[in-house]
Structure 1
Amino acid sequence: MNRVLILGATSPIARALALRFAADGARLFLAARNADEVRRVAEDVGTRAGVTALAGTFDASDFASHDEFIRRVALELGGLDGVVVCFGTLGDEDSAQTDPADALATINQNLTGAVSLMTLAARHLEQQRSGFIIAIGSVAGERGRKKNYVYGSAKGALALFVQGLRGRLADSGVHVMTVKLGTVDTRMTWGREGALLTIAPAKAADLIYAAYRKRAEVVYVPWFWRVIMGAVRLIPESRFKRMSF
């Protein structure tokens, strides 16, 4: 039975993933910033899946608290076999491009907090020589677009970090998977461009979970974003910097 920590568990994709893991018999610890909301999510998952899902809070930017948090999760679950990193925020991109404090807040919520928590989880999983880490990133990290380069830079750096982590843990029996997510139909993306390419959270979770079961290493969700971003990467910088998308 897998003992799985889901970080950012109140997001629609995380909720759907929790149900997928629970259906396969996993014991879950669901964590987010909002204590009341994550408790409601845990109760809902438990009722739907017929399991007990534990709930707790964490702060991605409170780096000093992360070691104790990971230890507590492992203690309450009776061990730790997997971590799913679902948290992040688009932030206020316009403000982040002119205000260093907002820029750093976006970076901390999307990159440094995840790096801190995954480093601690990886240490635990490497010692037991088994387990998995799933990091949900974004296709926004493929190139630095003028409209969202602060957010995109965090996701791009996250992908590089996870790639290196995958290499480091390759001989330890720990599966590390990068998810490059396209536009998902959630509150965070409401009203933004690319609406025709959106995917429902439940469908995204199905694709992510199927890729995890196949022990995929890098997966684009949905698949066609691999083709789209492949084409985007081929655009010369002299042209790309003038494009408005």
Structure 2
Amino acid sequence: MRNILIIGATSAIAEATARRFAQDGDRFFLVARNAERLTTVANDLETRGATQVEIMVMDVNETNRHAGMLNQANTALGGVDTVLIAHGTLPDQKACEVSFELTLHEFQNNCLSTISLLTHIANQFEAQKKGTIAVISSVAGDRGRQSNYVYGTAKAAVSTFLQGLRGRLHKSGVSVITIKPGFVDTPMTAEFKKGLLWVNPEVIAGGIYHGITKKYGVVYLPWFWRWIMAIIIALPDSLFKRINL
């Protein structure tokens, strides 16, 4: 039985993932901004088999509350051994191109708040010499594309931070997993035209569940994105800058 802390618990991917773990009878501490949605998710997990579900309302950008949140989760569950960080926003790239203030805000949402959380969680897990940390990054961080390079930059920073953290915590028996989804049909992407490469949150949730249970390092979801991104990364810059991606 796991004691799972989920940050960004009302996101479509986080909710679908929590349902998979609830079937194992795991315990949860859920964190998100919307109290009503948190309560709905908590009630749903209990009906699906979760043995305990606690909630906390918090804006993840309130980094001064991160240490207290983690302490509260430990107290409520009697310790935390698994963390899923699943919060984030999709920036308006064109608006960010003309506003550093907006770019900084989005970088705070998608990168700096996560690094703050990871700093606290990593120190606890290193001290207890066990645990699994999974963070949703994105394939967008593998190479800066003209259509979303602000978002991609933030996710690249998160992925690099996780890579270093994975090396640091390995000797302590702590697993650090970078989750890199491709196109996912969620409320955050509702305005996008969908195609063959798009999947629903349940597909991503299954991959996250498998990645956590097997303690993988980097997980592309679905699996074919590993090869798509390998091709994109291999393109010479002289060609890549001419492609409308």
Compared with structure 1, are the counterparts of its residues 140 and 50 closer, same or farther at alpha carbon in structure 2 (3 Å cutoff)?
closer
Unaligned runs of 5+ in 1: none
Report the counterpart of residue 150 of structure 1 in structure 2.
150
Structure 1 ranges of 4+ moved more than 6 A: none
Instruction: State whether residues 60 and 108 of structure 1, in contact with CA within 8 Å, keep that contact through their aligned partners in structure 2.
Output: no
* Amino acid in structure 1 at the alignment position of 2:85: V
Contact map agreement 2:28 2:53 (CA 8 A) in 1? yes
Range that drifts further, 98-107 or 153-162: 98-107
Match of 2:240 in 1: 240
Partner of 2:103: 103
Q: Which residue does the alignment assign to 1:175?
A: 175
Shift of 1:62: 1.3
In the TM superposition, what is the alpha-carbon distance from 1:65 to its structure 2 partner?
1.3
The whole-number CA distance in structure 1 between the counterparts of 2:232 and 2:25 is: 40
Whether the 8 Å CA contact 1:183–1:195 is kept in 2: the answer is no
TM-score scaled by length of structure 2: 0.96
Displacement of 1:190 in angstroms is 2.1
Which whole-Å deviations, capped at 9, do the CAs of 1:103-138 have from their partners, x for residues lacking one? 011111111111101110111111110011001110
Q: 1:13 to 1:223 in 2, by over 3 A?
A: same
Contact 1:183 1:197 in 2 (8 A): yes
Is 2:107–2:151's contact at 8 Å kept on the other side of the alignment? Answer: yes
> Quick one: distance in 1 between partners of 2:115 and 2:58?
14
Partner of 2:206: 206
The alpha-carbon deviation at position 185 of structure 1 amounts to 0.9
Aligned to 1:231: 231
**TM-score where L is the length of structure 1:** 0.96
For residue 50 of structure 1, report the CA deviation from its aligned partner.
5.0
Q: What is the correspondence of 1:116-195 to structure 2 with a 5 Å cutoff? A: 116-192=116-192, 195=195
Aligned partner of 1:232: which letter? I
Please say if residues 185 and 200 of structure 1, whose CA atoms lie closer than 8 Å, have aligned partners that are also in contact. yes
CA deviation after TM superposition for structure 1 residue 51, in Å: 2.9
Aligned residues: 245
1:11 aligns with 11
Task: Give, in whole Å, the separation in 2 of the partners of 1:121 and 1:200.
Answer: 29
Specify the SS of the correspondent of 1:242: coil
Residue 9 of structure 1 contacts residue 31 of structure 1 at CA under 8 Å; is this kept in 2?
A: yes
Is the Cα contact below 8 Å between 2:139 and 2:225 reproduced in 1? yes
What is the correspondence of 1:7-156 to structure 2 with a 5 Å cutoff?
7-156=7-156
Q: Secondary structure at the match of 2:176?
A: strand
| 1:194-236 deviations in Å (ceiling 9; x for gaps) | 6320111111101111122111111100011011000000111
Which secondary structure does the structure 2 equivalent of 1:135 belong to?
strand
Corresponding residue of 1:219: 219
- The Cα shift of 1:97 comes to 1.6
Deviation at residue 243 of structure 1 after TM alignment: 1.3
Coordinate RMSD, CA, aligned: 1.2
The question of whether the paired residues in 1 share the 8 Å contact of 2:27 and 2:50 is answered with no
Q: For residues 74 and 27 of structure 1, what CA distance do their matches in structure 2 show?
A: 12
Shift of the 50–87 alpha-carbon distance from structure 1 to 2, 3 Å rule, reads closer
Moved more, 94-103 or 42-51: 42-51
**Structure 1 residue 77: Cα displacement:** 1.3
**Alpha-carbon separation, structure 1, partners of 2:73 and 2:235:** 45
Query: Structure 2: how far apart are the matches of 1:208 and 1:32?
Result: 19
- Deviations 1:133-191, CA, capped at 9 Å, x for gaps: 00111000011111100000000111000010000000101111111111111111123
Letter in 2 for 1:24: D
Structure 2 segments unaligned to the other structure (5+ residues): none
What amino acid maps onto 1:20 in structure 2?
R
Q: Identity rate of aligned residues, in percent?
A: 44
